[in-house]
Amino acid sequence: MAPARNWTPGEVVLGLYEVLDVVHSGGMGVVHRVRHRGWRVDMAVKTPRAKYVRNPEDRRRFEAEAETWVGLGLHPHTVGCAYVRTIDGLPRVFAEWVDGGSLAQAVDGGELYGGGPEAALARILDIAVQTAWGLAHAHEAGLVHQDVKPANVMLEPDGTAKVTDFGLAKARATSETGETAPPPDVPASVSFGGMTRGYCSPEQAAAAAGTRRVRLTAATDVWSWAVTVLEMFAGRPPTRQGQAAGEALEVILREGGARVPIPPAVATLLRQCFAADPAARPAGFGEVAATLTELYREILGVPNERPVPRAARLLSDGLSNHALSLLDLGRTEEAEELWRRALGTDPYHLPSVYNFGLHRWRTAQETGEELVTNIEAAIAASGGGRAGYGALLLGAVQLERHEDERAGELLREAVAADPDSADAAEALAEWEHRPPRIHADFDGHKDKDVSAVAVSADGGLVLSGDRAGRLLLWEPGRSRRRRTLTRSGERVAALAMDGAGALGAAVREGAVELWDLRRGRRLPSPLQQLGAVAVAVSGDGRYVAAGYPRGMIQVWEVAGMLIVAALRGHTGPVTSLALSRDGRTALSASFGSSNHDATVRAWDVAGEECVGMLVGPARGTLHGRPVHASPMDVGAVSPDARRAVVAWSQGPLVVWDAQAGAVVSEAPHSWRHVESVAPATAAPTVVTVSDGGGEVRVWDASTGSCLRALDRDLPPGAGWTNALAVSADGRVAVLGLPHGRVAVRSLPTGGYRAPWCYARPRPAPELARADEAFRELMDRVDELAARERFAAAAAALRSAQRMPGFDRHPALRAAWARLGEHGRRSTLLSASLLYSYDADQVFTQPPTVAVREDGAIAAAGRWTGEVDIWDLAAGERLHTFDRGEGGNARDIRFAVDGMLVLVLTSAGTIRQLSLETGGKRLFTDEFGAISAFAVNPAGDRILIGDVTGTLRLRDLPAGDVLRAWPAHGGKVHAAALSADGRYAATLGSTHPEADRFGGPPNENEIHLWRLGEDRPVWTLPSRASDERLDFSTDGRTLFVSRSWSVGAWDVGNGELRYSFLGQGSGLSDIGVVLGADGRLAASTDRESLLIWGTDTGEVVRTLSTPGTPSAFALSADGAFAVTGADRTVRVWDVRSGLCLRTLEGHRSSLYQAALSRDGTLLVTIDLSPAMWVWELAWEFDFTPDAGD
């Protein structure tokens, strides 16, 4: 590794850190004092000597040990470490700057002894107590310092003492000794060395001398601390060998010479600390500090006024900084977990939302649109925050995404608000030097769908053809058509151009035709095999190649129209083809359906030889052989035949260098249902078309991150994309659209990367005071609630909510949920995404998911038959029940206090799964496959119907049959049980297999049963087999619904009480959703959700939605509703009809929405499928307390 550049006072590093001074330059490394220009605070930056990080293993070890300091958190008597960051190739530790110098300097300079012996004694004892507190905090965290000494104790001007340099001694020790790991019985946080000779314990000295299997414990810090205390009394280092400190103490006591006399009681404590046996020393620094505090009072006659400190819990700022350090060290999973903790504390904490989102976007875990949406929500929730801060973060992301117009607005705002921000200035300068974007739309194809496009290497010329045979040449830069080559003819199936746009090639009905694009005339066609499906032109225009359905490739020389090569090797159709600039090499790919071979092949044209091949990873076996191809694999080659991009199904996204014959990058990806791929050459940019042409995305193939959604930048009503091409330089994409339109758009080209956001750390005392105040307020809330003074409890809760850093603390949300039971829901404070889960190739399709009433647990069916149990709040899969018998889940319900899961399978069985014991039971029916079931609200009865029309009532959890009776002539389609246990309702066919084998179609009927009787109380004809049955809460009304209609029938006499007909979407099988108290219900209408009273059917509120909801939910108290239309979720206030929040991010149409009973957890599921879990935080109004 090249020597790192030395920082010099006056320079500004990374435009952010102004170097003020070189504070220390010693054997371990260099300490600089820097000013963080963004935070306007001073920091200490510790950089190791090169010899301690001379190889990757040393560097990794140093980083890991330094990271333990960051993880130590904040304490009033330890120096806080903000983060570890690699700069100029070296890991650098950024720590709190302490302005009073070190204890060693105070001893040497005499400042410790100012004011006379008594003042000095008080100061020494005070520092001894403070350092003991600091070391006790470290030991409680499992961290042994191993190098306690006066130089590692920093003093504030007000006398506060702080221990520093945690973990660095171990890093130095392992680098010096070459040890890579301790023996198995030694904890990972303890090493063999890392010490200063004058302060080392006997066990450290023994380890340094080569004694094996020496165990270092917290007792070694007790010894070194005692040496430090002895030095304060002596006024000098008491010994050159720390292990001799006990003898040095006795010499000083016997002969005098201490600068401050050592009180006998203190000498006794020091003797205990100098015990040769580590086990004989004080048990810990908590005991030491307590003893010294008492001695302070006895010796000085007054108590020590310093309160016993509490460690400050890291709030979101500290957690986010710690996560950035871990990410810099490659500990990605730990970093992600810290960001989740930070967002659990404050879902809208802007640095965490920004950093975590930026990381997830760059690692293909979320889209750029999701990142922007989340940052915008966090900015809105913060009320703007620091001037220009949000604008900088959002502008930097938009700049990296190449959303230049919006980026420019935001960055100008950021610079105006904070002219000293180096990050804002750098981003704005990048924006100002970017070339203008190309944004051109053409409509010259006479309303005929464009079927093929090609583009020159620099994006200056575009060739387009349509289904009616029209072939046009465009100049995007001038927004005009240059030539009309043909006005009609056979459909243009494929197009290609040379690099300069001089020669074009088109495929019609399998034949290749060539065009002189400069003159606008057709050239003679070569002798060729018909049936071409792909075409390519060399960069210099001298050669043309065509690919065929059976995998062959022919190459012609344009000048003589002679075939120069026939390349054979693909076993499936050629779907992507390119020639190098000189035509000497070709690159081809075959991806698509099962008859494609899912390979990329590089060719030597002259030798007609395959010189390289890319195949997919093995994914299972077939007939004992590994399977390397999948119909879901997608890939394509770059225009100059240098690279290929392939997304392997259930594998990575790879970039393959054809010349080297090697994969040059691998990344995770979230590609799904991709039909077209177009990679560039000069950048890792790749464009995809998916979902039937409706989604056009721009990706960084090297990271898998989505850079832009081009489909959102297309003309209104563009519909789907039929054809796609990308210029070789990666700057321009051309899209062929329906109705004769062609769109040309600039592409992101990499380069600028948005900076990470390091949050300004708050001092430990400030955090500790705030934490204590918050705890006191929360205790007050609990006390007032216990006395049923709910209004006063809410007032105390609002006070806690106003505290900086605690405004969205989880304890607040939990307290509001508890208090809310005694008040009236009034304000939606926040609606934040807890997490999303991509369930593609996991969940059934459509998804089969049930959410328990309390919102704590969900059960989800996999397409492979297993059933997953989720902790919804934590986002953890708690358990997976194996496939068992019966196939995939068709319906899932909870029973028996939510501890039993009932799963109706595709094979007509019901699986009973116990969450308490993990036990499983299978319900079958001897007459036929089970087709429907219902569970009563109490959860202790299940009614089962089968394809023969038989009903069985069983108890739960035992499963014993209580009654069985024939109910219908054919299949039972639906069932319901009333809450009072008196009635059942069933929908079934009148004839066996009526709709399949010639019986009367759509002959179904609804029976209302009084449980215990064999004949129905009344019967209704039913026109459809997909109607839903629901009893009202009081059991007096039966609701019969489809997604577009509702009928309410009197249970007692079978008369229709009321009905209404709406216009539903048909995407969800939810017809009616009832409020928990039974007063209100909800159902869909055209572009609206109707909220109506169950007693009269009168509509009390119509919520107008953009599009008819395909998913919806009503809160238990009927106060708010949730709708899902297309890909957007909305939260509504039922009383006012106002939309409270719009929640975006879903990539597919919404299918299901579910709310917890307390209204704090929302689960939304789309058809991709994906599960999103949101947290809703509410405030409530309360009746004034008596006496207030």
The domain that contains 534 carries what CATH number?
2.130.10.10
460, burial (CB in 10 Å: exposed 0-12, middle 13-18, buried 19+) = middle
In a domain, 966, yes or no: no
Give mean pLDDT, residues 745-774.
78
Helix, strand, or coil here: 1153?
strand
Please write the tens of the pLDDT for every residue from 499-539. Answer: 999 999 999 999 999 999 999 999 988 878 889 999 999 99
Query: CA triplet 85, 88, 92: central angle to 5 degrees?
Result: 30
Residue 625 confidence (pLDDT): 72
Per-residue b/e over 919-955, b at no fewer than 16 CB within 10 Å? ebeebbbeebbbbbbbbbeebbbbbbbbbbbbbbbbe
Most confident of 42-51, 540-549, 781-790: 540-549
CA distance 691 to 673: 6
Question: Whole domain around residue 740: which residue ranges?
Answer: 439-746
Residue 820 confidence (pLDDT): 83
CA distance 200 to 174: 16
Q: List Cα–Cα distances, 253 to 262, 520, 633, 667, 760, in angstroms.
A: 8, 106, 81, 68, 48
Please write the tens of the pLDDT for every residue from 237-255. Answer: 999 999 999 999 999 998 8
> Do 44 and 83 meet the contact criterion of CB atoms below 8 Å apart?
no
CA distance 577 to 556: 14
Query: CA triplet 410, 412, 417: central angle to 5 degrees?
Result: 95
> Same structural domain for residues 24 and 50?
yes
The DSSP bridge pattern shows strands 1045-1050 and 1056-1061 to be antiparallel
> Same structural domain for residues 203 and 291?
yes
Q: pLDDT above 70 covers what percent of the chain?
A: 92
Residue 576 confidence (pLDDT): 95
188 pLDDT band (50/70/90 cuts)? Answer: very low
> Same structural domain for residues 710 and 796?
no
Please write the tens of the pLDDT for every residue from 208-226. Answer: 888 877 778 899 999 999 9
**Residue 996 clears pLDDT 90, i.e. is over it:** no
**Residue 661 clears pLDDT 50, i.e. is over it:** yes
The domain that contains 256 carries what CATH number?
1.10.510.10
User: Mean pLDDT over all residues of the chain?
Assistant: 86
CA distance 981 to 1035: 9
Q: pLDDT above 90 covers what percent of the chain?
A: 48
Place of tokens 């620099």: 458
Please write the tens of the pLDDT for every residue from 284-313. Answer: 999 999 999 999 999 999 998 888 887 666
916, burial (CB in 10 Å: exposed 0-12, middle 13-18, buried 19+) = exposed
Please write the tens of the pLDDT for every residue from 323-349. Answer: 888 887 778 888 898 898 888 777 778
> Same structural domain for residues 643 and 788?
no
Q: What is the arrangement of strands in the sheet containing 471-475, beginning at the earlier edge strand?
A: 450-455, 462-466, 471-475, 480-486
803 pLDDT band (50/70/90 cuts)? Answer: confident
Give mean pLDDT, residues 62-81.
82
Residue 2 confidence (pLDDT): 47
Helix, strand, or coil here: 793?
helix
170 pLDDT band (50/70/90 cuts)? Answer: low
**When comparing pLDDT for 394 and 376, which is higher?**
394
Most confident of 129-138, 476-485, 611-620: 129-138
Q: List Cα–Cα distances, 790 to 234, 773, 1183, in angstroms.
A: 61, 20, 8
**When comparing pLDDT for 868 and 383, which is higher?**
868
User: 858 - beta bridge partners?
Assistant: 851, 870
> Same structural domain for residues 703 and 808?
no
CA distance 758 to 737: 44
Residue type at 112 in one-letter notation: L
In a domain, 741, yes or no: yes
Give mean pLDDT, residues 614-633.
75
Give mean pLDDT, residues 69-95.
84
Which tokens go with 951? 């009903």
Residue 1047 confidence (pLDDT): 92
Q: Which of 180-194, 294-308, 1002-1016 has the lowest mean pLDDT?
A: 180-194
CA distance 801 to 395: 30
Asked if the bond preceding 966 is cis, omega within 30° of 0, the reply is no
Residue 6 confidence (pLDDT): 82
Residue 74 confidence (pLDDT): 78
Identify the DSSP state of 269. H
> Do 1025 and 984 meet the contact criterion of CB atoms below 8 Å apart?
no
- Phi first, then psi, for residue 22 (nearest 5°) are -95, 105
In a domain, 1147, yes or no: no
Helix, strand, coil percentages for the chain (3-state, nearest 5): 25, 35, 45
CA distance 671 to 680: 18
> Same structural domain for residues 713 and 804?
no
Q: What is the DSSP string of 640-707?
A: TSSEEEEE-TTS-EEEEETTTTEEEEEE-----SEEEEEE-SSSSEEEEEETTTTEEEEEETTTTEEE
> Do 881 and 864 meet the contact criterion of CB atoms below 8 Å apart?
no
Q: Identify which of 531, 434, 550, 137 has the alpha carbon closest to the alpha carbon of residue 308.
A: 137
Most confident of 193-197, 591-595, 1076-1080: 1076-1080
> Same structural domain for residues 774 and 742?
no
Give mean pLDDT, residues 52-63.
76
Please write the tens of the pLDDT for every residue from 910-924. Answer: 999 999 999 898 887
Residue 372 confidence (pLDDT): 87
> Same structural domain for residues 709 and 767?
no
**Residue 1067 clears pLDDT 60, i.e. is over it:** no
Residue 57 confidence (pLDDT): 78
> Do 82 and 71 meet the contact criterion of CB atoms below 8 Å apart?
no
**When comparing pLDDT for 819 and 492, which is higher?**
492
Identify the DSSP state of 524. P
The per-type count for the chain, helices as H runs and strands as E runs, is 19, 70
Q: Mark which of 722, 746, 770 sits at the end of a domain.
A: 746
Residue 588 confidence (pLDDT): 97
> Do 528 and 520 meet the contact criterion of CB atoms below 8 Å apart?
no
**Residue 173 clears pLDDT 70, i.e. is over it:** no
Place of tokens 């220390």: 24
In a domain, 802, yes or no: yes
In a domain, 721, yes or no: yes
Residue type at 321 in one-letter notation: N
**Residue 180 clears pLDDT 50, i.e. is over it:** no
> Same structural domain for residues 206 and 124?
yes
> Do 566 and 552 meet the contact criterion of CB atoms below 8 Å apart?
yes
> Do 679 and 637 meet the contact criterion of CB atoms below 8 Å apart?
yes
Place of tokens 């387009």: 464
In a domain, 663, yes or no: yes
> Same structural domain for residues 673 and 786?
no
> Same structural domain for residues 703 and 772?
no
In a domain, 283, yes or no: yes
**Residue 554 clears pLDDT 90, i.e. is over it:** yes
In a domain, 887, yes or no: no
> Number of structural domains, the chain?
3
**Residue 493 clears pLDDT 60, i.e. is over it:** yes
CA distance 1108 to 1128: 12
> Same structural domain for residues 539 and 617?
yes
